[in-house]
Amino acid sequence: GYPIVDAGMRELWQTGYMHNRVRMIVASFLIKHLRMHWRHGEAWFRDTLVDADLANNAAGWQWVAGSGADAAPYFRIFNPMTQGRKFDPEGAYVRRWCPELAGLPDEHIHAPFEAPASILDEAGVVLGETYPKPLVDHAKARAAALEGYEKVKSSAQ
């Protein structure tokens, strides 16, 4: 239900490749929105990427999770809508890999669930039928991830 994530996963499955920016967005979504262990994503990427490298793959997933040796000094949660708007502003990438969304205007391509019903109707998009509804609410998932991070951080002190 988040187009940039869905586009990345479709590209990976069909080609065995995904741009590094999309890899980070997808990894952040799996770890921080869905609260799954990074090893699940690392294993999927290792088995699916044609350019998989054991060390780089594991280190990349640990970096996103914040558990690697060179983890960022802050807990970053990628917003898939903001990332899509910033790195795919016209929606060309999403339209290529999620053609069912191709009729949406640029301003709604990265968050079809926020589009008015009239825009969805005009584009032939039926959320939950022709394109999935979001699996999680971004704001709630972000809040839950931050709460979990704070619990871990405070227990380590």
pLDDT on residue 152: 85
Contacts 24+ apart (CB under 8 A), 127-132: 127/1, 130/100, 131/1, 131/98, 131/100, 131/101, 132/1, 132/6
- Read off the amino acid at residue 62: Q
pLDDT (average), residues 136-148: 96
8 A C-beta contact, residue 10 and residue 31 = no
pLDDT at residue 129 is higher than 70? yes
8 A C-beta contact, residue 15 and residue 44 = no
Q: What is the pTM of this model?
A: 0.94
Q: Which of 113, 115, 108 is nearest to 84 (CA)?
A: 108
What confidence tens digit (pLDDT) does each residue in 8-42 have? 999 999 999 999 999 999 999 999 999 999 999 99
